[in-house]
């Protein structure tokens, strides 16, 4: 007979213990251990069947024929770019983001696009009734006979609905509301999320159906549930942005079928999310003229070049320790660049507060923006405005040198398209490529040299 066993599972990381503890030894979080019941079935020879049996034998990789994968186009250029060219049949995609950021809106619009292309789509909501989903669909002008809506949380009934309709795409909103009757813990617990995701993955792989699941996030911004959840799925997409700002960024942090460096940019409007095909123009349209502490940098996000404005405000501190605040840039990188300016250029910044911001809510992670950060800090400190038609590109080392960056030709070409007249690049990047017409490219080898060109010393 089955033996019933009590265990305590951390709801943050999945750590299991036979007794309750106030602090989880795995993730160090407090009051996260919840009691769950485990059904232990008798096993033969220590083996447990997974429910999927296979009679296939191992074969050499050289004998395997590779079929051309057929992707489902969503007719949304931004989403197709993030997914690597479209939705792969049989894939399991996890979409995370803050509450109210637009996850359900995006997936409902994707459902409408595929339904209009004669693909059956099953939208399963565990948080809304079908009438509430209909109200949101009417607001987004979503209507199609190929779009099926179901309000259900029991995975057994969800699987029956999938077998009955046989859709090309299934959307589960959200995975924290789905439960399996065989698992005794509550919906949203570590065990339920893990087992439900495993069952959905089996459905996706065996039937060749693409499944999107929505995941809630914690206060720290990570997807709620065990870390194993992100390892089980094929792709993990994060929907980022401020609730009170219109721009949304869809970023892939894991993708087995494409690059993880791509981003898609959307704008939230009354009728739903609209794609931003040229984000550089939007990020720069409100830029002030003849103002110190501002410079434009060219950043690469996957295969896309994005021109954004970096702003800095340097002011004397009124406290013993100066403040260092950064939005959209790594705080530690800002401190490092200010130390380089103080040591190699001679700027007395140790008694100055520093506030930096990337306009538009974009987060920049690559080192090619270092020179732009240093220039806008120096511009604000000296209260000298930079030229409005300049773009700065380059990585800075601890000795004050400006180092080579990748894809310099694409960055300069994007600046030329938007009407910029001059680009400051690392000297090592000069040569080997064609400079576009109408733009001047100057190479620098040190930060001091770049300051001499942009601000006259």
Binding site for ATP: which residues? 97-104
Taking a C-beta distance cutoff of 8 angstroms, is the pair 309, 284 a contact?
A: yes
Peptide bond into 174 cis (omega under 30): yes
- Token readout for 296 is 């434009």
For 410, list phi and psi in degrees, rounded to 5: -65, -40
**Long-range pairs for 59-62 at CB < 8 Å and ≥24 separation?**
none
Annotated binding site: 97-104
């Amino acid at each position: 007979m089955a033996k019933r066993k009590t265990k305590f599972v951390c709801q943050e990381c999945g750590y299991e213990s036979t007794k309750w503890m106030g602090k989880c030894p795995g993730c160090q979080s407090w009051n996260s251990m919840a009691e769950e019941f485990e059904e232990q079935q008798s096993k033969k020879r220590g083996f447990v069947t997974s429910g999927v049996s296979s009679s296939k034998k191992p074969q050499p990789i050289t004998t395997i024929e590779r079929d051309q994968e057929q992707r489902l186009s969503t007719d949304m250029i931004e989403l197709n770019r993030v997914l690597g060219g479209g939705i792969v049949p049989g894939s399991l995609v996890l979409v995370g983001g803050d509450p109210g950021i637009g996850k359900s809106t995006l997936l409902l619009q994707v459902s409408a696009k595929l339904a209009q292309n004669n693909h059956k789509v099953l939208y399963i909501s565990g948080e809304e009734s079908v009438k509430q989903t209909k109200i949101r669909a009417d607001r987004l002008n979503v209507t199609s006979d190929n779009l099926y809506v179901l309000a259900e949380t029991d995975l057994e009934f969800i699987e029956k609905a999938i077998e009955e309709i046989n859709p090309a795409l299934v959307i589960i909103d959200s995975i924290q509301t789905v439960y399996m009757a065989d698992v005794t813990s509550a919906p949203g617990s570590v065990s339920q999320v893990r087992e439900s995701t495993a069952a959905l993955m089996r459905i996706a792989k065996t039937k060749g159906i693409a499944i999107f699941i929505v995941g809630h996030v914690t206060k720290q911004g990570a997807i709620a549930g065990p870390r194993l959840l992100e390892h089980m799925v094929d792709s993990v997409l994060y929907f980022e942005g401020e609730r009170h700002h219109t721009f949304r960024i869809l970023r892939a942090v894991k993708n087995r079928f494409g690059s993880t460096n791509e981003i898609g940019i959307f704008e939230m409007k009354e009728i739903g999310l609209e794609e931003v095909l040229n984000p550089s123009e939007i990020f720069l349209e409100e830029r002030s003229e003849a103002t110190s502490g501002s410079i434009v940098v060219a950043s690469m996000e996957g295969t896309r070049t994005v021109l954004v404005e970096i702003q800095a405000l340097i002011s004397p501190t009124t406290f013993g320790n100066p403040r260092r605040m950064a939005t959209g840039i790594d705080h530690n990188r800002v401190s490092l660049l200010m130390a380089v300016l103080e040591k190699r250029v001679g700027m007395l910044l140790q008694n100055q507060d520093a506030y930096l911001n990337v306009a538009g809510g974009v987060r920049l992670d690559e080192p090619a923006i270092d020179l732009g950060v240093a220039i806008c800090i120096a511009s604000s400190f000296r209260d000298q405005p930079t030229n409005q038609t300049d773009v700065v590109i380059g990585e800075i080392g601890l000795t004050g040198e400006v180092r080579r960056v990748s894809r310099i030709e694409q960055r300069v070409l994007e600046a030329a398209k938007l009407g910029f007249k001059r680009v400051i690049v690392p000297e090592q990047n000069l040569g080997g490529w064609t400079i576009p017409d109408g733009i001047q490219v100057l190479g620098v080898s040190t930060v001091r040299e770049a300051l001499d060109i942009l601000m006259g010393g």
